C-alpha cells in the first residue's frame, strides 16, 4: 500500500511528467490558453493514460516476452487502435462524455506523454496495479500542470507586457518558473 | 534549376524554417536531453538518422501507400527506424544510451518527424524529400546543440566534458535541472522574436525611404 501511494505522489508531484520529464509539451504549450479546454484535455489524457497502462501491461506480460525488439511498434499500434475503439464506444454510449473529451482523444494518442508512460512503466517493471496507479498519478499531474499554466496565461492576457515577449517565449519562461516551484516537492521523500 | 531547388530545401530547414526556433516543433526531446552538449549531439544524430531514413522510405513509396491509412503507415516506418537507432546506440555508446534512456524510443512521438512526412515527404520526389529531411534534421541538431551547450557551460562550467573556467567557477546548477531548459529556450526564442522584429522594422524603414524618394 505504501508503495502504491509513493508511486502516485511521485508521478503526481515529484516527477511531474510535464515539468520535470518534459513529456507532452506540445499540448502543454499549444492548448493551454483557456482553463476549460485544458481541464478537458487533462481529463482525456488521464483516461488515455489509464488505457495505455492496461494495454502496456497486457503486451508486456503476454506478447513482448517473446519479441522485445517489437516493443515500440507494438505499443504505438495497440494503443492507437484501442483508443480509437474506445472513442467509438464512448460516442455510442455517452454523447455528453464524448463532447467533453472526444475531439482530444485521437490527438493525444501519439503524444509523447502517453508513450513515455508506457515505456517508463515497462523500464521500472511495474505490475498491473502499480501501472494503473502510476497512470493515474501521471495523468492528474499532467492536468495539474496544464491547468496551472492556463490560469497564469489567462491572467497574463489582461496585463501589460512587452510585445516582444508575448507568445511562446513567455509561456516557456512561465513554465520554467512553475517547474522551479515543483522542484520544491523533491524533498517530499528523502528516499527518493 | 533542379540542383538549386534541392539546395533551397536543405537551407530552409537550418535557418528560415528552423524546426525548433521558428516552428516550435519537437519540444519534448529538445528540452529533456539538452542538459549536456554530448547528449544533445547523440539525440540530434539519432533524430537525423530517423528523419532522413523515414523521409526516404515514405517518399519512395508515396504512390503505394493508401491515403486513408497513411498516418499509421508513417508511424510504423518511423517506429522501425527508431528501433534501429535505439539498438545501434545501445551497441555503440552504452553510456550515452543509458543517460538518454526512455527518450530514444520517444523520438517516435516527435511531432517534427511525422510533420515532415505528412507535409513534405509524401508529396515530393525522393531526392527533394531527402534534402528537406536533411535540412530539417540539421536545423534540429543545431538547435539541440546550442541549447545543450548553453546549459552545460552555465550549469557545469564545461563543454563536452572539458572544463572551461577552472576551479573558481560556481556552477549555475539550475541550468542543468529541468527549469533551466524552459528558461534557456524561452530566452533563445525571445532573441529570435527580437531579430524578426528588428528585421521587419528595417524593411519598413527601407520601404518608407523608397516612398519618400519617389
**Count of residues for chain A?**
192
pLDDT at A192 over 70: no
The confidence score (pLDDT) of residue B124 equals 86
Q: How many domains does chain B have?
A: 1
Q: Is B115 on the interface with A (CB under 8 A)?
A: no
> Are A183 and B31 in contact (CB < 8 Å)?
no
Which residue of A19, A25, A48 to mutate against B (max B Cβ within 10 Å)? A25
Average pLDDT over residues A120-132: 85
pTM value is: 0.83
> Which structural domain range is residue B193 located in?
2-213
Query: pLDDT tens digits for B53-96?
Result: 999 999 998 888 888 788 888 888 998 999 999 889 889 888 88
pLDDT at A60 over 90: no
SS3 category, B162: strand
Domain assignments of chain A as residue spans, ordered by start:
33-187
The confidence score (pLDDT) of residue B54 equals 92
Which among B80, B180, B190 has CB closest to A169?
Answer: B190
Gap from A4 CA to chain B (nearest CA, Å): 22
The confidence score (pLDDT) of residue B81 equals 93
Closest by alpha carbon to A55, among A114, A104, A2, A103?
A114
Taking CB atoms and an 8 Å cutoff, what residues of chain B touch A108? Answer: none
The confidence score (pLDDT) of residue B3 equals 59
Q: Which residue has the cell 526512455?
A: B102
Q: Share the mean pLDDT of chain B.
A: 84
The confidence score (pLDDT) of residue B49 equals 92
CA distance A112 to A116: 6
DSSP B125-148: -HHHHHHHHHHHHHHHHHHHHHHH
Angle, CA of B36, B20 and A36, to the nearest 5°: 105
For residue B159, the 8-state DSSP code is E
Confidence category of residue B1, pLDDT binned at 50, 70, 90: very low
CA distance A121 to B118: 30
The confidence score (pLDDT) of residue A110 equals 67
Which among A80, A115, A183 has CB closest to B106?
Answer: A115
Confidence category of residue B200, pLDDT binned at 50, 70, 90: confident
Gap from B2 CA to chain A (nearest CA, Å): 36
Q: What percent of chain A has pLDDT over 70?
A: 91
Question: B163 forms bridges with which residues in the sheet?
Answer: B158
Gap from A131 CA to chain B (nearest CA, Å): 16
Average pLDDT over residues B102-107: 84
> Are A176 and B86 in contact (CB < 8 Å)?
no
Amino acid at each position: 500500500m505504501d508503495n502504491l501511494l509513493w508511486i502516485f505522489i511521485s508521478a503526481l508531484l515529484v516527477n511531474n511528467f510535464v515539468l520535470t520529464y518534459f513529456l507532452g509539451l506540445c499540448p502543454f504549450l499549444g492548448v493551454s490558453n483557456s482553463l476549460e479546454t485544458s481541464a478537458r484535455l487533462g481529463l482525456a489524457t488521464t483516461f488515455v493514460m489509464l488505457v495505455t497502462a492496461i494495454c502496456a501491461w497486457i503486451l508486456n506480460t503476454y506478447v513482448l516476452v517473446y519479441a522485445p525488439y517489437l516493443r515500440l511498434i507494438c505499443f504505438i499500434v495497440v494503443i492507437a487502435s484501442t483508443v480509437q475503439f474506445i472513442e467509438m464506444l464512448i460516442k455510442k454510449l455517452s454523447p455528453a462524455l464524448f463532447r467533453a473529451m472526444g475531439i482530444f482523444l485521437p490527438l493525444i494518442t501519439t503524444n509523447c506523454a502517453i508513450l513515455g508512460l508506457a515505456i517508463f512503466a515497462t523500464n521500472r517493471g511495474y505490475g498491473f496495479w502499480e501501472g494503473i496507479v502510476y497512470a493515474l498519478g501521471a495523468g492528474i499531474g499532467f492536468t495539474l500542470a496544464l491547468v496551472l499554466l492556463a490560469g497564469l496565461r489567462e491572467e497574463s492576457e489582461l496585463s501589460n507586457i512587452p510585445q516582444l515577449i508575448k507568445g511562446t517565449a513567455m509561456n516557456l519562461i512561465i513554465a520554467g518558473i512553475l517547474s522551479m516551484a515543483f522542484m520544491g516537492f523533491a524533498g517530499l521523500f528523502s528516499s527518493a | 534549376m533542379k540542383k538549386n531547388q534541392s539546395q533551397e530545401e536543405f537551407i530552409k530547414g537550418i535557418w528560415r524554417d528552423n524546426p525548433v526556433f521558428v516552428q516550435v516543433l519537437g519540444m519534448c526531446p529538445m528540452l529533456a536531453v539538452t542538459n549536456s552538449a554530448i547528449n544533445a549531439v547523440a539525440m540530434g544524430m539519432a533524430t537525423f538518422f530517423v528523419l532522413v531514413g523515414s523521409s526516404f522510405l515514405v517518399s519512395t513509396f508515396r504512390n503505394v501507400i493508401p491515403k486513408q491509412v497513411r498516418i499509421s503507415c508513417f508511424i510504423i516506418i518511423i517506429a522501425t527506424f527508431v528501433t534501429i537507432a535505439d539498438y545501434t546506440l545501445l551497441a555503440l555508446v552504452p553510456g550515452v544510451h543509458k543517460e538518454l534512456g526512455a527518450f530514444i524510443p520517444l523520438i517516435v512521438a516527435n511531432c517534427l518527424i511525422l510533420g515532415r512526412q505528412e507535409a513534405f515527404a509524401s508529396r515530393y520526389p525522393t531526392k527533394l524529400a531527402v534534402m528537406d529531411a536533411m535540412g530539417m534534421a540539421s536545423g534540429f541538431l543545431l538547435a539541440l546543440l546550442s541549447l545543450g551547450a548553453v546549459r552545460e557551460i552555465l550549469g557545469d562550467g564545461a563543454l563536452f566534458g572539458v572544463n572551461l573556467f577552472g576551479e573558481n567557477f560556481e556552477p549555475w546548477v539550475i541550468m542543468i535541472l529541468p527549469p533551466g531548459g524552459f528558461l534557456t529556450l524561452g530566452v533563445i526564442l525571445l532573441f529570435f522574436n527580437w531579430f524578426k522584429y528588428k528585421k521587419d522594422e528595417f524593411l519598413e524603414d527601407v520601404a518608407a525611404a523608397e516612398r519618400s524618394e519617389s
